[in-house]
Structure 1
Amino acid sequence: MDKFINFMEKHFIPYASKIGNQRHLVAIRDAFTVTMPLMILGALAVMINNLPIPAFQNVMNGIFGGEAWKGFGGAVWNGTFGVLSVFIAFLVAYNLAKGVGKDPIGTGVVSVASFFTLGAATSGMNSSGLFVALIVGMLVAEIFTRLVGNDKLVVKMPDGVPPAVARSFASLFPAMITISIFGVIAAIIAGFGVEDMFAAFYAMVQEPFMGLANSYGSALLIAFITPFLWFFGLHGANMIDPFMQAINAPAIEANNAAISAGKAAPYIVNKPFIDSFVNMGGTGVTIGLIIAIYLVGRKNKPFMVVNNLAAAPGIFNINEPLMFGLPLVLNPVMFIPFILTPMVCVTTAYFATKFGWVPAATVMPPWVTPPIIGGFLATQSISGAILAAVNLVIAIVMYVPFVSLSTRLELKKGTEI
């Protein structure tokens, strides 16, 4: 194990760290972090409108004399998921410009303008335009921030002009050039007979990518790579978050649309699926480790001290106390259960959903929602809660032998001392 750890630290970790700190990925991750409350609210509004409890629907229809009460959920969706891509286009460009010390608000505004120049007003404002929004945000940031720094494109204003006005004129030509580039792109695409580039891009690129990410192999890879990176001290969840978020909102929206139409939900793998059935207690299904320590690790005093501190945050899926206090990072004894437990849990959750035993996740509870409750909310079903409970038991069983081993090693160490 020591040779393996040394090899990874020398040959893998430096590259992984560079990827994790890559500014475009960081900008995307931070953009989705800002919009997370909106996605949670939008998902909850859709859940209320489509709650599969006939008694609830009948009561609400009786109170409001029909389905007018669903206007609330529809209005909230319009202000959240309905304009999600617009927010992302702004925030990605904003974060990238801020990272290089250039006008972040101006860059964000130009990004939104460029996004609409491509025709977003017709169909691309919701999650179907998400991939285009990401591309536009990155391209605008690269183009606009370089043009803003060019002295030949600055409109110099006379002394005494307010600084805000001077700044707006300084970015006048860069903004015009950047937006015009996207206008030319839109004209070229239209010239090829594409009436709606967002719908075409969704069908050609985004939908196949989501389908690829929806496979069991992809789910297994997600379950593996996150704890694997964490083992070496890298925040695995943050590193794969841009990928997860790119498929998350469209998958949830597609699932809800399919269910509303009486069809089967097409996407199993999304963020609420991972959060509710795999990352219980945090990466590595560490709520199972906390319980395992209480069951068989009471004689391990270092473990118990950390565990008592980690139990409360662990209920809300925060496991940094375990990661660095136990620690799990670079802990050779805990390497096997920390890596394998989420892979086993993603397997049970994936096939339970695929075989129709549990509904697909269509609601995104806050990531701090306690285990089992999260499974119920994500799937709007008792079977979702049961699946989460089963995975919790699996996690406990997988951690118990290694907690016992760690305890024996700790007691042996104390005896030798």
Structure 2
Amino acid sequence: MNKFIEIAGRIGSQRHLVAIRDGFVSVMPLIIVGSLAILINNFPAIQLGSWSLDFVGSMNNAFGEGSWQRLGGNIWNASFAILGLLVAFSIAYNLARSYDIDGLAAGILSIASYVMLVPVTKDWGLSFAWLGAQGLFVAIIVSLLVTEAFRLLIHTKLTIRMPDGVPGGVTRSFQALIPSMIILTVVAAIQLFIQVKLELSIFEVIFKAIQKPLQGFGDSLAAGLIIALLNHVLWFFGLHGTNIIGSVIEPIYLPLIEQNLAAFQAGASAYDVPYTVTKPFLDAFVFMGGSGTTLSLLLAIFIVVRKQRNHPYHQVAKLSAPAGLFNINEPVIFGMPIVLNPVMLIPFILAPVVLTVVSYIALSTGMVPKTVAIVPWTTPPIISGYLVTGGSIRGVLLQMFNLTLATLIYIPFVVAGARAMTAEINRNKDSIHEGEKIS
């Protein structure tokens, strides 16, 4: 077990995985804005008896037919549609900064290399098909390789050194000149070879060989269960499971939600979009309150020790509840604690695994719409269930059912833990009283 913790810790702090994770985190605001723009573009009409509200229709009537959709489309073009381009810069920037070299130069060089590999349309435009989520794997590979090459070249004598007194920006620019020439020449040669010999783009090669098979597996129940299990095993041992596996799952699950969003934008129903297991699927229906569905743990504590206001469990739950509503659960994970607490091991892992199965069945069978939007991970449950399913009350009902189910899973273990802690408190009191009598 110590070996497992050591290995997991090394993975979590591995330079390249951290750069990938931080790169995706950097562009997450744009991803969320682009997602919400499409959701607003396709927000369903609300009908309550004789009263109705058609937001999209009202906006189109006010500004012209299709005008509101064009507004959201413009936001999409500047966010999700160029996701690969954004990630190519942000990962290279973060990796270069970890080496204490010029992050801006590495990021710009990564973008230039990425654009060089993007197929060009007949009218000399860049293909949006590969600038977005479909090009994520190429973006990751290019950003890592280009930054490593830049690092190696920048530490050689193949750089132009400027005399003291020259402004820092000018010095960095000339220092990056020769490494940039070498790297772009190599990338251009690779692109020429692929075009001539394979008559394909490197995007198509990698998409067919790596990305598409991984996405196919990622949309399976088995993949969802592996993620839920691994994430919570890591958390139990005090390791940030979400951060450790985030750099692995983001390139797989962002393209899936992007394709759901594209289908929804094209007029498909949220029931008919292609993919079930996406990042919003996990965030909205499994990780409610944070990893471990700890919002249900807080509910279980309030139910079990509601009459024992001074019980440590109640105190921790009371302090953790405000953050828990926004899916921030470090106070309860480390306050109870859940970390290395054998009483909480089973429900902490079991509840998310069960909810993954229940949610997969609900969405894949059509009882609940599939996810068609990304919302900030701090969005409280109930609100998030409504938004990610394209404004469906069924998403809210599934969240309520899942919270209830997870609470029932937690209750027996909370009862056992509360009794054990009460007994320990009583023993400590007895020992103090005995000590006072002896003294």
Report the TM-score range of the alignment, normalised by the length of the smaller protein: over 0.9
Corresponding position of 1:83: 82
After TM superposition, list the pairs within 5 Å mapping 1:257-268 onto structure 2. 257-259=262-264, 260=266, 262=268, 264-268=272-276
Are 1:394 and 2:385 matched, yes or no?
A: no
Question: Greater Rg, structure 1 or structure 2?
Answer: 2
Corresponding position of 1:30: 22
**Structure 1 residue corresponding to 2:172, chosen from 146, 167, 170:** 167
CA contact (8 A) 1:244 1:270 kept: no
**Structure 1 residue corresponding to 2:286, chosen from 257, 264, 278:** 278
- Provide structure 1 residue ranges, at least 5 long, that are not aligned to the other structure: 1-7
After TM superposition, list the pairs within 5 Å mapping 1:194-205 onto structure 2. 194-205=199-210
Are 1:44 and 2:49 matched, yes or no?
A: no
CA contact (8 A) 1:128 1:199 kept: no
CA distance in 2, matches of 1:65, 1:50: 16
After TM superposition, list the pairs within 5 Å mapping 1:7-406 onto structure 2. 8=1, 10-53=2-45, 55-119=54-118, 121-123=126-128, 124-151=130-157, 153-157=158-162, 161-259=166-264, 260=266, 262=268, 264-298=272-306, 299=308, 301-380=311-390, 381-406=392-417
CA contact (8 A) 1:194 1:200 kept: no
Which amino acid in structure 2 is aligned with residue 128 of structure 1?
Answer: Q
User: Deviation of residue 43 (structure 1)?
Assistant: 0.2
Provide the identity percentage.
44
User: Deviation of residue 156 (structure 1)?
Assistant: 3.5
- Provide structure 2 residue ranges, at least 5 long, that are not aligned to the other structure: 47-53, 120-125, 431-439
How large is the Cα RMSD of the aligned pairs? 1.6
**TM-score, normalized by length of structure 1?**
0.94
Question: C-alpha deviations, 1:214-247, integer Å up to 9, x for none?
Answer: 1100001111111110000000011111122112
CA contact (8 A) 1:227 1:339 kept: yes
Question: C-alpha deviations, 1:102-133, integer Å up to 9, x for none?
Answer: 11111111111111111263342211111100
CA distance in 1, matches of 2:228, 2:168: 51
User: Deviation of residue 269 (structure 1)?
Assistant: 1.3
**TM-score, normalized by length of structure 2?**
0.89
CA distance in 1, matches of 2:380, 2:345: 24
CA contact (8 A) 2:110 2:147 kept: yes
CA distance in 1, matches of 2:19, 2:415: 42
Which amino acid in structure 2 is aligned with residue 294 of structure 1?
Answer: F
Corresponding position of 1:409: 420
Corresponding position of 1:4: none
Which amino acid in structure 2 is aligned with residue 392 of structure 1?
Answer: L
**Runs of 4+ displaced beyond 6 Å:** none
CA contact (8 A) 1:360 1:379 kept: yes
SS at match of 1:333: helix
Question: C-alpha deviations, 1:290-334, integer Å up to 9, x for none?
Answer: 011000024371111111110000000000001111100011101
Alignment: residue pair count: 408
